[in-house]
Amino acid sequence: MEQSSMLQLILFTLPFMLLLSYLIFKRFPSPKKYPPGPIAWPLIGNTALSITESQVHLKICDLVKKHGHVMMLKFGVVPPMVVVSTPETAAIVLKKQDRICSGRSVPHSVKVPGYFEHTMVWADCTEHWKVVRKIFRTEMFSNKMVEAQTSIREEKVRELVRFLRERELGEVVQVNEVIFGQNVYDYEGKIDNEKGMKGIIRQLMVLAAAPNLPDFYPIFGPLDLQRYRKITTDYVKKINDYWAGIVKERRATKDHSKNDFLDVVIQAGFTDAQINTLFLEIFGPGSDTSSCTIEWAMSELIRNPDKLVKLQEELDKFIGHSREVRESDLENLPYLHACIKETLRLHPPVTFMLPHRTTEEFQLMNYTVPKDSQMLVNMYAIHRDPKLWDDPLSFKPERFLNSPVDYQGNDFQYLPFGSGRRICPAINMASRSNRFLLASLVHNFEWSLPDGMKPSELDMRDRFVLVLAKVVPLKVVLRARSASAF
Ligand code: HEM
């Protein structure tokens, strides 16, 4: 055949060939590439790895080393869990694909009628979520509101210091017990005074995080074999009954000049049921996160006496020996701020964010993430990555002095409060109250370990129970410092 007729043949057949290959590929698309992970067995998936136990963060980090920074796990018959463990992949989940990744994966126990419909924390990004979130951001936790609540927080911390002063003569104090709920956004301190209320709030959080059969096999939902839904329902009722009286009283007075959280939501037209749910959402995430931050900060400072001395020196130099710490001092205490930041790096309380859910399938790097996957951002691994942090396992507040890295959600290597749509709405308040509480404790007391325990013997193991807590709670003996003004 001549060369020119060969060319004609090719040109003639080419469009048909292209059409044919298009049709074949359309009919049989290339298989989707899902993120790698350990072998998932039919029906049980990766349940045998016991990833749902309290050492979950360490197990996940081990698996990430093996399977990579985008990893997929399967539990039971529900959609998979996808774990991302680098700043780049976290930025995709929390920024680039934030709209798709901002749903919530809701535990079975939480879906209590009369509570669940009004929740903000467990809601997808619905209109209701937007309205409540806006109230959180612009009213309850706005700079103006946080500022207006200063005197309440100061009074509460003073109360705590007085309480601790009475225990300073050799009595052993368990730090997380005295601090739980201490520095959360307060409603006249009543939640603390009510016997058993702290315990109920803590139990509710533990139940939401506990492995529950229907979360892996929804078919067992109606049976509620572990009774988690039933217990949650009872607790929610108890809390509702407690708040109902307070809300009724405030509605009756028609005096909303206090302009606190309750006034804000009453004036926004919230029903009693909505208000009860919101109370829980404020006291729930706020209490444990703050108390465990202070407990870890104290533990790190006791283990690193040179850092403790540096902090005491900063406080003594700026505040002196004749007055108490005030919230207005905080801006002048950079080392204190660095201590809190470093604590949140090593011990981020909400280690994997609250569980996000994908509302659509999407591409993450080269992988397909199915719709309804649970997305975990592995802050634990990111905050301890030696490629990102020098000497990452050591407590070195100095790394945050003169550093632009902050926790407002723009630095994906450091995300203690999250980022994007679901970022913690209480950052400003939590940041202030954590610093203020730590400053007051360090300024007022010398802390030592009981029974002659050496700082190097302090048990620093952590466990994941919704927040990253200490396995062995910190217990201390207090002695007033001469610098104390109380
Ligand atoms: C050290 C203190 C705290 C830390 C480290 C912290 C961290 C976080 C993180 C990582 C999230 C999840 C973000 C996500 O799912 O993507 C979150 C959510 C949330 N936090 Fe905080 N938080 C703290 C204190 C507080 C306090 C004191 C309150 C309230 C008084 C609070 C209220 C909330 C609420 C309501 C959400 C859910 C937001 C939503 O789902 O849209 N947090 N927090």
305-323 pLDDT tens trace: 999 999 999 999 999 988 9
Work out how many domains the chain is built from and give that number. 1
Residue 320 in any domain: the answer is yes
Q: Is the CB of 409 under 6 A from ligand 1?
A: no
Q: Is the CB of 282 under 6 A from ligand 1?
A: yes
- Rg of the chain (C-alpha set): 26
Expressed in angstroms and rounded, the spacing between residue 258 Cα and the centre of ligand 1 is: 25
Q: Which tokens is 205 given?
A: 């959080």
| Residues paired with residue 45 on neighbouring β-strands, in sequence order | 41, 75
User: Which residue, judged by its Cα, is nearest atom 11 of ligand 1?
Assistant: 424
Expressed in angstroms and rounded, the spacing between residue 293 Cα and the centre of ligand 1 is: 13
Expressed in angstroms and rounded, the spacing between residue 194 Cα and the centre of ligand 1 is: 24
Percent of the chain with pLDDT over 70: 87
Of the pLDDT bands very low, low, confident and very high (cuts 50, 70, 90), residue 177 is confident
Q: Is the CB of 137 under 6 A from ligand 1?
A: no
Q: Which tokens is 485 given?
A: 């003004």
pLDDT of amino acid 186: 42
Residue 82 pLDDT > 90: yes
Domain that holds residue 108: 31-480
User: Which residue, judged by its Cα, is nearest atom 28 of ligand 1?
Assistant: 286
Expressed in angstroms and rounded, the spacing between residue 423 Cα and the centre of ligand 1 is: 7
**Which 3 state secondary structure label does DSSP give 464?**
strand
pLDDT of amino acid 300: 98
Of the pLDDT bands very low, low, confident and very high (cuts 50, 70, 90), residue 203 is confident
Residue 195 pLDDT > 60: no
- Contact (CB, 8 A) for 198 and 192: yes
Average pLDDT over residues 128-144: 87
Residue 444 in any domain: the answer is yes
Looking at ligand 1, which atom is closest to the CA of residue 421?
41
Of the pLDDT bands very low, low, confident and very high (cuts 50, 70, 90), residue 14 is low
Residue 191 pLDDT > 60: no
CA–CA distance, 246 with 309 (Å, rounded to integer): 45
Of the pLDDT bands very low, low, confident and very high (cuts 50, 70, 90), residue 184 is very low
Residue 16 in any domain: the answer is no
Q: Is the CB of 103 under 6 A from ligand 1?
A: no
DSSP conformation letters of 187-204: STTHHHHSTTHHHHHHHH
Expressed in angstroms and rounded, the spacing between residue 110 Cα and the centre of ligand 1 is: 17
Q: Is the CB of 201 under 6 A from ligand 1?
A: no
Average pLDDT over residues 442-450: 94
Q: Is the CB of 397 under 6 A from ligand 1?
A: no
pLDDT of amino acid 166: 82
pLDDT of amino acid 183: 42
pLDDT of amino acid 482: 62
Residue 51 in any domain: the answer is yes
The CATH number that applies at residue 52 is: 1.10.630.10
Residue 1 in any domain: the answer is no
Residue 458 in any domain: the answer is yes
pLDDT of amino acid 196: 62
Residue 12 in any domain: the answer is no
Residue 90 in any domain: the answer is yes
Residue 72 pLDDT > 70: yes
Dihedral, CA of residue 326, residue 332, residue 335 and residue 337, to nearest 10:
70
Any idea what the Cα angle at residue 211 is, between residues 207 and 217, rounded to 5°?
Answer: 120
> Where is pLDDT greater, at 244 or 66?
66
Distances (CA, A) of 236 to 120, 191, 205, 282, 453: 15, 14, 12, 14, 41
Q: Is 85 exposed, middle or buried (0-12, 13-18, 19+ CB in 10 A)?
A: buried
